[in-house]
């Protein structure tokens, strides 16, 4: 029985097509090769707990379908990441044919990824392995109406398509769009504060109509998370978290490469967590919550320190110029960010935390203060929290949107 309030499902003709037909095992094998390849068959069989015979039948099908390829022996010695806790056994059969390695045929497919901001969008094309294979394309929205945003995205998609075709690669299979906010059914934007959208917009269907390409629409932070778990530092992590800093503070958690879903998560739930009992007061009245890590709060704190108005850009310039007050605030901010990372590590227990976002440069400059902040809130016998800082580039967010459609395409 349908609920009276249930929203209509997104159009199914806009579904991302599957690269190949096959059993659940076939999809698992392709996904593992995408994440861990080039990888030896024996290692792959152990990792997926499949017999050599079963694996061989599946990989033959995938080779025939043009999804994967076999690389010569030396690639099998590649030691990339493996799943946490998995230790491959040495193969007892060393008499047979030399080991070959299986890899995704990365250039057999291309995809377009777009990151939509409040006023503009950045786009890039990637191959099936999530590697950027086009130039960087940016465009400003004429206005924030859904029609105008979809039209701009279509122009960017055409620019990306022209690049990949000129490079001799296949034209894009699908397009992924990342937005800050809530997205339902990987298509319908229900809330996008930066675009000032507060009603349902089937952006997936609109972009599909404007480009002719199947289109998936996703939350931007979850896209970064999935991209990292498939093609970046999160590969093999049982749990992986991302914390973003910039205009706001973002957080998301993936378990085995899938974002933990919660209907409220895109409301910025980590934005008001306590990070410093002596920190500044936020607009909601909290003292020392994570809002003190945002650009606006940092500008305000810096203005107070200097006794005159200063912007976040002024703060960044002063940090780069080695101004003492700016560096003190930078270190304090990074200590607080370390506290937030420790909170995430203590409660969610991810194998790694990635710090990203437009102000992630802070974390690179103040990395020692981040470590101090983490250590301050960890048990002294607890292992250090592994964390990485992503170099910020909006193109990475565009690529991440494309990674979401790759994941759906591989299934």
Q: Which is nearer to Zn ion, 25 or 286 (CB)?
A: 286
Residues pairing with 343 in the sheet: none
Minimum distance of Zn ion from residue 299's CB (angstroms): 16
Nearer to Zn ion (CB atom), residue 284 or residue 383: 284
Q: Least separation, in Å, of the C-beta of 288 and Zn ion?
A: 8
CA distance 375 to 406: 38
DSSP for 189-250 reads EEEBGGGTB-S-EEHHHHHHHHHSS-EEEEEHHHHHHHHHHHHSTTTT-SEEEEEEESSSEE
Give the residue with the Cβ less far from Zn ion, 181 or 271. Answer: 271
Residue 291 CB, shortest distance to Zn ion, in Å, is 5
Whether cis (ω within 30° of 0) applies to the bond prior to 38 is yes
Which C-beta is closer to Zn ion: that of 144 or that of 272? 272
In the complex, the smallest distance separating the C-beta of residue 296 from Zn ion, rounded to whole angstroms, is 12
Q: How many whole angstroms separate alpha carbon 357 and alpha carbon 354?
A: 10
| Residue 285 Cβ vs Zn ion, minimum distance, rounded to whole Å | 7
If we measure between CA atoms, which residue out of 401, 327, 405, 408 comes closest to residue 124?
Answer: 401
Residue 74 or 296 having the CB closest to Zn ion: 296
User: 78 or 286: whose CB is closer to Zn ion?
Assistant: 286
**123: which strand partners?**
114, 137
CB atoms within 10 A of CB 243: 25
Residue among 286 and 371 whose Cβ is closer to Zn ion: 286
Summarize as ranges the residues that interact with Zn ion (CB under 5 A).
272, 282, 284, 286, 289, 291
Closer residue to Zn ion, CB minimum distance, 258 or 281: 281
From the list 341, 338, 191, 378, the residue with the least C-alpha distance to 268 is 191
Secondary structure (H, E, C), 232-243: CCCCCCCEEEEE
Instruction: Work out the burial of residue 164: count CB atoms within 10 Å of its CB; fewer than 13 is exposed, 13-18 middle, 19 or more buried.
Output: buried
**Nearest distance from C-beta of residue 272 to Zn ion, angstroms:** 4
CB of residue 289 vs Zn ion: minimum separation in angstroms? 3
Contact criterion met (CB below 8 Å) for 374 and 338: yes
Half-sphere exposure of 213 (CA within 13 A, CB side): 27
Q: How far is the CB of 61 from Zn ion (least distance, A)?
A: 53
Q: Which of 266, 255, 14, 37 is nearest to 130 (CA)?
A: 37
């Amino acid at each position: 029985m349908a609920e009276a309030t249930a929203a209509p499902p997104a159009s199914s003709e806009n579904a991302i097509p599957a690269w190949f037909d096959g059993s659940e095992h076939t999809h698992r094998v392709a996904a593992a090769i995408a994440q861990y390849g080039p990888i030896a068959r024996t290692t792959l069989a152990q990792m997926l707990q499949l017999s050599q015979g079963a694996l061989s039948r599946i990989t033959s099908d995938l080779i025939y379908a043009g999804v994967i390829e076999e690389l010569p022996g030396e690639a099998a010695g590649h030691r990339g990441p493996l799943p946490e806790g998995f230790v491959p056994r040495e193969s007892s059969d060393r008499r047979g044919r030399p080991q070959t390695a299986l890899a995704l045929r990365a250039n057999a497919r291309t995809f377009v990824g777009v990151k939509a901001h409040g006023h503009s969008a950045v786009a890039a094309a990637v191959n099936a392995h999530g590697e950027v294979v086009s130039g960087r394309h940016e465009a400003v929205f004429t206005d924030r109406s859904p029609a105008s945003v979809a039209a701009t995205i279509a122009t960017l998609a055409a620019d990306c398509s022209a690049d990949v075709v000129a490079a001799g690669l296949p034209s894009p299979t699908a397009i992924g769009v990342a937005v800050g906010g809530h997205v339902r059914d990987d298509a319908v934007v229900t809330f996008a504060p930066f675009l000032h959208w507060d009603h349902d917009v089937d952006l997936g269907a609109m972009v599909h109509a404007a480009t002719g390409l199947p289109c998936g629409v996703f939350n931007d932070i979850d896209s970064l998370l999935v991209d990292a778990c498939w093609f970046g530092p999160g590969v093999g992590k049982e749990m992986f978290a991302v914390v973003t800093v910039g205009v706001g503070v973002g957080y998301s958690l993936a378990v085995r490469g899938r974002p933990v879903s919660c209907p409220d998560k895109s409301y910025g739930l980590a934005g008001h967590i306590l990070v410093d009992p002596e920190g500044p007061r936020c607009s909601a009245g909290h003292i020392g919550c994570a809002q003190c890590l945002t650009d606006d709060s940092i500008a305000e704190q810096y203005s107070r320190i200097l006794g005159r108005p200063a912007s976040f850009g002024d703060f960044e310039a002063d940090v780069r110029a080695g101004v003492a007050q700016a560096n003190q605030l930078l270190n304090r901010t990074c200590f607080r960010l370390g506290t937030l990372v420790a909170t995430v590590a203590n409660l969610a227990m991810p194998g790694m935390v990635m710090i990203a976002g437009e102000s992630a440069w802070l974390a690179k400059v103040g990395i020692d203060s981040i470590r101090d902040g983490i250590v301050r809130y960890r048990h002294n016998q607890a292992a250090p929290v592994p964390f990485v800082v992503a170099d910020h580039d909006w193109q990475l967010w565009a690529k991440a949107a494309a990674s979401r459609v790759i994941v759906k395409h591989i299934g």
